Amino acid sequence: MDDGDYGENSKTRSVSTIIKSINNSDIRERPVVDPDSIGSLILTSGTTGEPKLAMISH
């Protein structure tokens, strides 16, 4: 099976094609991240019923 099986406009790709694409890209170069910077935000209802935004660091 190769990507031709799905047509040019398909968003489906074979695993081998994805691996080749990753190996040929600069995706492995990761930015420097401060461990104290915000990694994600989670909206929670909290125990009081008041919405709260929880900041999760890296």
Identify the pLDDT of residue 4: 55
User: Which sequence spans correspond to the domains of the chain?
Assistant: 3-57
Say if CB 17 and CB 1 are below 8 A apart: no
Residues comprising the chain, all counted: 58
- pTM reported for the whole predicted model: 0.36
Identify the pLDDT of residue 36: 86
Is beta strand 52-57 parallel, antiparallel or unpaired with respect to 38-44?
antiparallel
Tell me the mean pLDDT per 10 residues along the chain, length 58.
60 85 76 86 82 86
Identify the pLDDT of residue 6: 58
Identify the pLDDT of residue 46: 67
Identify the pLDDT of residue 34: 87
